[in-house]
Chain A
Amino acid sequence: MLLGKIVGTAIATIKTPGLKGVKLLVVELLDNNLAPFGNRQIAADGVQQAGLNDIVFLVRAREAALTLAETFVPVDLAVVGVVDKVDIDKSIQDFELSTGYSRY
Chain B
Amino acid sequence: MVIAKVIGTVVSTTKHPAYTGYKLQVVQPLHLTGQSPDPSFLALDSLQAGVGDTVLVMREGNSARQITKIKDAPIISMIVGILDAVEIT
Q: Which residues does A use to contact B, with CB under 8 Å?
A: 1-3, 31-32, 46-47, 49-50, 57, 59-64, 66-67, 71, 78, 80-89, 92, 95-104
Q: Which residues does B use to contact A, with CB under 8 Å?
A: 3, 5, 7-16, 19, 24, 26, 28-33, 37, 39-44, 51-54, 61, 64, 72-77, 83-89
Report how far A92 CA is from B3 CA in the complex, Å.
15
Report how far A96 CA is from B28 CA in the complex, Å.
11
Instruction: Count A-B pairs with CB separation below 8 Å.
Output: 138
Interface centre among A59, A60, A67, A98 (most CB of B within 10 A): A59
**8 Å CB contact of A80 from B3, B19, B87:** B19
Contact B7 A32 (CB under 8 A): yes
Question: Which chain B residue shows the least CB distance to A94?
Answer: B5
B53 CB → nearest A CB, Å? 7
